[in-house]
Amino acid sequence: MRTDLAIQSSPDTWDVIIPEHPTDLLQWASALAGDALVVCWLRNVCSVLELRSLESGELVRDIPLPGLGSVASFSGKGAVERHAKTLQQARRVVASARSTLCPVLF
């Protein structure tokens, strides 16, 4: 939802940026610099990240995660630009854990 906090208004007049999803639960959203909004959904008990337009709410692209799990937050200067490298490192850690620590659990 979007509204001008400087003006007192009714929720009926607020703009819907991201409509309610029929099955997924919106967990959080974080506005970034420019026209960027990172959105985290809960889908089948796992987090799903999306990059959306802050202005229109349109999906720009999915943000791939290294595997199943939960995402608690997304922050930092230039986070969108750096997320690919961070997720690659996380994928290596998860792959290592799968092969050496608990192969039965994964």
Please report which confidence band the pLDDT of residue 100 belongs to, taking 50, 70 and 90 as the band edges.
very low
The pLDDT of residue 87 is: 55
- The model's pLDDT over 47-75, given as tens digits with 9 standing for 90+, comes to 999 999 988 999 999 998 888 888 887 66
Domain residue ranges in the chain: 11-100
Torsion of CA 75, 81, 84, 90, to 10 degrees: -30
Residue 24, pLDDT above cutoff 90: yes
Residue 104, pLDDT above cutoff 50: no
